[in-house]
Structure 1
């Protein structure tokens, strides 16, 4: 069901990163596709099943990347898509949603307020609410990344996964536990958006009043209980990283790998930067999950003075 343009993404050893990180690093590149993120792996499944079942419309809340992906998958299949997003989301993400012919509704709040509004639209219009990470198709789509890692990678010790709602972490994590159980699955979240990581450590849902991070794609406040249950089964650890480390990771991926990435995609590199001893001598795979960046903000991040060794 997934368009091949989103599958078999590049996976390669990036030796240029290794002297600064102190470990072997392979990159799984999920940005070289029409929506510049991994999200379409899941929305391809969602949209295909909706159309097969006679649906004509769907709505989702999005920090930006899911909305683009659902708009792309829906347009290919004649599905009317509504995306609810924060008006404070990166302008480039909002522009791409509109360009893909989705109806875009903006709310004066964060992603969790957009989730509430999307649910209200679904009830009012009688259409399917697509909930990232809760809908199993979004997790199954992300799980194909794990299948490709297992099939293509040489022996590796650890996979670092950006943690937001949890679709990628639970999808890839389940594959690792089933097919490569010796691989350590580590989820990474910003210190300024810690709800899911705190929930994992406390083994119960922990919410926060606000978020404060440049990594907008993972900035949720209210974990979904069913997703946390899955995460507790498949994740070996969940760590928090500082904003300075995320910015350093963005800069390193540009300087050493020639990659323009959004902050969420640099979380894996940030985790290594903050704990080089933990990863020393290991072969680590980091999933570069998105490259939809606001250019003005990006130029500020890469132009800032280096923040030094975390």
Structure 2
């Protein structure tokens, strides 16, 4: 059993707290996609919920525990999806939610955060700038700061995906997981390495945002000065040390993929699966495209982690 901050009993109990709309999302073999990729490809569809990403699994745990503690407000930094999910979970429970995001985040994500009733503050700069501002707000107001991947609820909420994969059929050989801060990778990885240790856990990150992948390979925190990728949801620059420790326990590999492969993956999801996905959700397919021999003839699961994308940008990408 991997030695991480996560606990399998808590993960199982989390299913009783998370709203059913986020649980038991579709898992199915996509023959058309697999045929084009040269492998058996199954899709775990984490966009089939009210916030169109996996993040609601974690924010449901966060919000429920805040209410149990008698707290009334919460703040987070977000590239877009966490803010939407926290807004949804907070509104359902009467929490005041503040989200700090880069003004350069996709407009569709920012609009949805506002629509869910959260207070949205925009900063000049990237996600790391937003994280610093959110921490300042939390300290000044004396409210809970939710830090994705650092806060165990976000990891153990995402880990419930792993429970569903482990109980699904048929069996599979590898899972491809988008890697950003690490909540989904450590969560799903912990469950699979506990219940299905033979399954290969492969994390995928853009070449233009490689901090966590480089850190995994060097077994130490490696930061970057900037990021350059359309996959905004995974574009962090400062890996969290304890999250890296967890990732080192559960990931078999971490790979980097090019932007052209991410775009090709988005196009393939549209053409062969009828799915509109955001760039981060196409990382798994991008990894197969760049290393077909590795996955040839194998049964691979890719987690479609989000579907929140600006349509204008999406049309530009898939038409190129």
Structure 1 CA distance, aligned partners of 2:214 and 2:287? 16
Is 1:263 the equivalent of 2:271? no
3-state DSSP of counterpart to 1:269: helix
| 1:240-255 to 2 correspondences below 5 Å | 240-255=256-271
Equivalent residue, structure 2, for 1:77: 93
TM-score (norm 2): 0.95
Equivalent residue, structure 2, for 1:22: 38
Residue correspondences, number = 304
3-state DSSP of counterpart to 2:315: helix
Structure 1 CA distance, aligned partners of 2:215 and 2:315? 34
Match among 240, 256, 259 for residue 224 of structure 1: 240
| 1:101-250 to 2 correspondences below 5 Å | 101-250=117-266
Bigger shift: 174-183 or 11-20? 11-20
Equivalent residue, structure 1, for 2:306: 290
Structure 1 CA distance, aligned partners of 2:171 and 2:75? 40
Q: Give 1:20 shift.
A: 1.7
Equivalent residue, structure 1, for 2:53: 37
3-state DSSP of counterpart to 1:161: strand
Q: Give 1:145 shift.
A: 0.2
Structure 1 CA distance, aligned partners of 2:169 and 2:212? 28
Displaced runs of 4+ in structure 1, greater than 4 A? none
Q: Give 1:153 shift.
A: 2.8
* 1:215-241 deviations in Å (ceiling 9; x for gaps): 000000000001000000000000000
* 1:104-150 deviations in Å (ceiling 9; x for gaps): 00000000110000000000000000000000000000000000000
* 1:157-179 deviations in Å (ceiling 9; x for gaps): 00000000000000000001100
Structure 2 CA distance, aligned partners of 1:153 and 1:177? 17
Unpaired stretches in structure 1, ≥5 consecutive residues? 305-310
Structure 2 CA distance, aligned partners of 1:91 and 1:301? 16
Structure 1 CA distance, aligned partners of 2:90 and 2:268? 35
Equivalent residue, structure 1, for 2:9: none
Q: Give 1:19 shift.
A: 2.2
